Structure 1
Amino acid sequence: MKKIILSFCAIAVLQSCIVSTAAKAVKGVAKVSYKAVKGTVKGVSWAVSKTNGKIDEDRIDGTWKVVGVYKGSFETFTNDQNPDTSFESECTDGFDQIIFNARKSKFRQVHCGTEKEDWQKYDFEFGKNPLTKEKENYIEYNSNNYISIIDINSKTMILEGNLMPKLAFSGGKLYLLEKVN
């Protein structure tokens, strides 16, 4: 009789462990699926997950075309079920772009492919961003302006901050950029 009761207790304990582990797995899957792609803009997808770890500065090098602007922060974007990511360029010829020269640590904004602003010197950092207070990849320019690098791959880059003043005045804080060259 002791063996039967002991067996039932052992089965009950094992079953609770299995149920607990399964619940954790479901929570993990739910978090991963929540951090999936939120949609596309002109065939370019918005990545939602933030890059973990240091990004190689050379990855930002090149010309990046602005294809999407979200009027809100990255945190707001991740919680928004249907984010409005529409972006209509004012340009009839060309496009709004950001050119990064990683070797010289400079960038410049170009409006409609013709109106070029001056090159701005920047520092590429990985650490606690003074603006967001989070450990992340960010760019500091003009000694107290910060742009967070949310995600970057060979085709797209997502930046958060006061990247383009003319778009920031209308509330734009999160930018989807597509690599041009």
Structure 2
Amino acid sequence: MKLFTFTLAFLATITSFGQAGKFDLVIKNAKVFDSRTGALSLNQTILIKGGIITKVTSNQKNYSATKTIDARGKLVTPGFIDTHIHPTDVYRAYGALPEYFQKDSLEFYRKRLSDTYLPYGVTTAMIMGQSEKWLPPILSWHADPQPGYLDIYTVGGALISNEGRKP
């Protein structure tokens, strides 16, 4: 019985160590900018699991990961926050603005907004000036953040005045 208990405990320990070492993404050979101190650290490895940075280390060992990116000395910074964007500016390039987002086009609009900002390091945006009818999908995007999409906070709709309009 003692041998069985020991063997079971040993196998559980080995299994738990194997699971802890697997990361979703490893970024190696990166320059990392620390926005709190202003320091720049060279040859850093960034370990990411479940969309969260779990560790930044100078240890250059090979980590087990689903995907590994060699930054080749490129700079890595925290995500930027744009505090004032208008989704209408992004969508207007495609013709007249829709009155509301049709359910089958939600993925297109969310991706288009993300494709506009993510390449510039903007990972979070505060949007305003959109139609009130756009709020349900925008609020659903806010409630369901995804790693490949812009994080969105809505801070106000469009203010429309009847002044100067014909009756």
Q: What TM-score do you get using the length of structure 2 for normalisation?
A: 0.33
Q: What TM-score do you get using the length of structure 1 for normalisation?
A: 0.31
Larger helix share, 1 or 2: 2
